[in-house]
Structure 1
Amino acid sequence: MAGRDLRQLHRLPVLTNTTALEDRIGLQHREIQALLVDNQRLAATHVALKQDLAAAQHDLRRLSVVAGQAKAERDAEVREVYERSLKLDAEVRTIDSMGAELARTRADIQELGSVRKELVAELQSIEGEVAKTRSESKRVVDIKADIETFQQEIKKGRVAIENETKTRAKNLEHRRGMEKTMAALAREIEKLHGELANAEKRARAAVAAAAAANPGPGYPATYGDPEMVYGGNAYPDPYGMLHQVLDGLE
């Protein structure tokens, strides 16, 4: 019986190792399948990227051609503008050299009545524009004066606001100081009230003890009723005084 149990104990590790080996093989198989799937996906991605790269290269070549054409057109336009500027330069130099001819032309203007009328009409138009420009210049001067006035008013307003701000800050600081002072006074008054109440209690106890020790008519009638002497509120409320002072500051 003991030998049979020993053989069973020897078989258990073999079964356990076989199960672990099968699990490991299954795990490796699943990993291989996953790697195959990833490989297929990467291959598809690689093909797609190659296609995108080919399309991008095609677009790049096309854009290079278009850019070359645009550059050629722009260079042609620049050359054309440069040639026009050279031509205009030559014309300006020609106009400058026509000073003597212009002097002779002014002498001929006196004989050209129609031309003179046109020049007079143009002169009147120019005079109208000059008058309009003067009017607008006057308006500009008035606007500048208004702007300066507004700036002065703004400066005055800023000074007034700064003064008001400083005054409010001073009042606020003064009020805070008064509040601290009144709070300290209120605490002192409360302390005095407490001391007075203790003194009253001691006095009442002394009066009561004296009355008990000497029941004769030697004490006034008020000793029998301490409330007649100490009753009521003979002292003002410190908090009421504090609120009255703060209301007066506001």
Structure 2
Amino acid sequence: MSGREDVNGGEDVNGGTGEDALGPEVFGALRRVSTATVTTQLFARGLRNTFLAGLRPLNPAHTRMVAEAFTLRHIPAREDLDVLSVFKDYDHPQRLAVESVGPGQVLVMDCRGQTRAASIGGILATRLLRRGAAGLVTDGAVRDSPFFAELELPAFAAGVCATTNLARHHAVDLQVPIGCAEVPVYPGDIIVADGEGVVCVPRHLAAEVARDALEQERLEDFIQAQVEAGAPLRGTYPPDEETLRRYRSTLPGGGGAR
């Protein structure tokens, strides 16, 4: 598996340098929690702008994704440069990006929120899938959307549009900091997605967010069960010390330090 983890599980995703490698337990934990929980954990750490609002899954059957960000930045197209003949260049930045995304990485594209031209289509998305990419995220549009609706690749976009990308987008930079849906995304950040959407976790926070997000969901599952059983919000949500005591008693060993 070349030291990386694909969308279905496997080895560690090691992007970046060896000293910042993240263990498989981090990715496993993040797969078990919702984007809502992850955003709460990031909010608790002072990060308020991490959810890529407005992006929707193109295939609702394939939404769960935890992967390292591989970034591609676009600027507005210019008519004398962005002509169909540029696609004859195999090193065109869009094509080069698709051929550079590694297994377990997700292609994240900055399209400035412009959806009047596609940022990618079915052929390139298929190539990403065959390369072992974990998915793709764009704050622009895609073309071939009926194909995406069947594609077994988590894909999130702001819209759909049949028009080719050259009409609006000029791909310029790979693996640089970008803004996607007005959220800063740096190469190597951890992208977490589910049916609700996409959140960007700064890489240096991924391990602690994964750990605390798991604990948050365990507690919230307990609270949910209490509310379903008829418990009032007062004392239950947020939990008071008595509720926390009862929760801890359900943990292995009868409870312990949280």
The structure that is helix-richer by fraction is: 1
Q: TM-score, normalised by structure 2?
A: 0.15
Higher strand share: 2
Query: Which one scores higher on RCO, CA 8 angstroms, separation ≥ 6?
Result: 2
Which one has the largest radius of gyration?
1
> TM-score scaled to structure 1, two decimals?
0.16
